Chain A
Amino acid sequence: MKEALILLDITLVLLLAKVLEEVMARIKQPTILGDLLAGILVGPTVFGLISSVKNIESFAWVGIVILLFLGGVESSISEFKRYGVQVLAVALGGVLACFLLGFSYAYMLGYDLKTMLFLGAILTPTSVGVTLRTLMDLNLLHTKEGRVILGAAVADDIYGVIVLALVYSLVTESKVTLESLLPIMTGLATILTLTFLINKFSYKISVMLRKLKVHESAFTTVLIMGLAAATLTAFFRLSPLVGAFFIGLALSSIPGVELLRERLEFLSMIITPIFFVYAGILLNPWEIVGNNSLYEILYVGLSIVALGVIGKIIGCGFAAKLSGMDWNESLAIGLGMMPRAGVDLVIAVVGLSIGAIDQKLYFGALLLIYFSSLATPVLLKRAFKYKIGKS
């Protein structure tokens, strides 16, 4: 009977996720909002249909490791050289401002250091899918602002993974001493060495891959390399997601890997939504309703939304202004960098699973994802009025 329940849970999760993904795609919203909603619906928040979260937990983690690995494969090292300093500065401005705001807010609420670090980290990443879609509708994707936002979003992914790595290591260590940092340093050194070796022997690795006889074994070997790197980083007490991302980045230089990317995307399309549904299932507002008034939960949630929005507008906007853009353009860039729906959720789930954040803050993180995705198109249209008027 146990296997039937596991199958039922997985089928239910995939079915609802894909149906709601389709709905979101039709209303021009990121599909991840559909996955999350599916999780909220089947989880304890609404219907409580999942027999055991454990049944989908392993799939969820494999799914997110694969997504981060794919993220690495899709970004190339040379791509970062292409985007100028301006783009890196805009992304960094947003990351710093959001981190500081989240960190300070958790301090004001009286949380301990690990929660401060995690709330700061949750607010930092950006996911600009909605922005790109809106700019395209306005026919502004190819303006200077559009290019800066697209570039900054790519840089932002890297920053997000680094922030996750740092925060995860700091929080999982009970005391930060030189000795406790040693394995983390060794882990980082190992990943860097691996990246260097893969780059150096990329041609040899590609020759080795093409000699494999079994059908699709080049793809499976690359996938196993990603999983192994993730495991290795976890062994050194770094987040496994960090290893997956950086090995993906290193492997992207191997001849032919770009051709294997399509298979990786296909696999990710099936298994990664399980992680986002899992993220929705983890939300359990009933757990906190008893101890906190509804007013308090909403107050904290909405404050997180406000900080997340203000952090990006101020951080990215000021960085854009400092790099030579005018006020209108800077505001548009700040708003464009506002949406969340990716690495932030990963950080929130990691935070919740290691007990660094509670349900109240987790609720705020999810609220930010929905609010920012729905509000960005409306606000961007207003912000770009100066441009639309001109054209």
Chain B
Amino acid sequence: MSFFILKRDEIEKVLESRIQDILHELCPPLKIEENMPVEIFIDTVKSKGIDAAIVVGRKGKVVGIVTRLDLLKILHLEVPYRLRVLAIPRHPKVEKITIKEIMTRNPITLRETAKVHDAIDLMSKYKISHIIIVDNKGNPKAIFSRRYLLKKVFGIEEH
């Protein structure tokens, strides 16, 4: 019995395919600005079921990525390692926290001409769950995620 919903050669094909060919299957890139209150992101996650958004700067270039799990950072203030005495909670008022404070800066991006196995390789190297796919000018096109892979290969869907 196979765990996969795809046959062996089909999996090979997925791994070898170029990301630009599967762009339509990926999450469309939700772009947000870094000064946006985190509350709005929470609402979007709830209403649209997305699990990550691309944070763009003034010129539309990628400056960060924010995922659902980053929301948990609201419970913790990330003080620099050398200043740490104990964990410090963030401001109790969620509406005052902006995306900038919880996002990952300078995220990993991958050109759309790369192959799926390149993305998987990067995910394992950097232990990340999302990769921003960009065109040759650096504009974000989609987010490639573990969630997509789980669905594609095992048929596992997150609710």
Residues of chain A touching chain B, judged by Cβ–Cβ distance below 8 Å, are 25, 28-31, 67, 70-71, 74-76, 127-130, 132-133, 136, 141-142, 150, 153-154, 202, 206, 210, 218, 252-260, 265, 268, 342
Contact = CB atoms under 8 A, between A and B. Distances in A.
Measured as residues with beta carbon below 8 angstroms from the partner, the interface class of chain B is 20 to 34
B56 interface: no
A71 B80 contact: yes
Given A74-B80, A132-B79, A218-B125, A255 B109 contact: yes
B112 to A, nearest CB: 15
Contacts of A342: 82
Contacts of B107: 255-256
A371 B21 CA distance: 64
Contacts of A256: 106-108, 126
Contacts of A154: 80
Contacts of A260: 126
B83 to A, nearest CB: 5
Contacts of B92: 142
13 contacts: A25-B86, A28-B85, A30-B85, A31-B85, A74-B81, A128-B83, A132-B88, A141-B88, A142-B91, A210-B125, A256-B106, A256-B108, A268-B81
A75 B82 CA distance: 11
Q: Which secondary structure dominates chain A's binding surface?
A: helix
A260 to B, nearest CB: 8
Contacts of B96: 142
B128 A259 contact: yes
A197 B78 CA distance: 29
B84 interface: yes
A218 B125 CA distance: 8
Contacts of A257: 106
B89 interface: yes
B82 A133 contact: no
Contacts of A29: 85
Most buried by A among B85, B86, B127: B85
B122 interface: yes
A127 B84 CA distance: 10
A342 B86 CA distance: 16
Nearest to A256: B108
Nearest to B64: A258
A102 to B, nearest CB: 22
B139 interface: no
Given A141-B88, A259-B126, A210 B108 contact: yes
Contacts of A254: 106
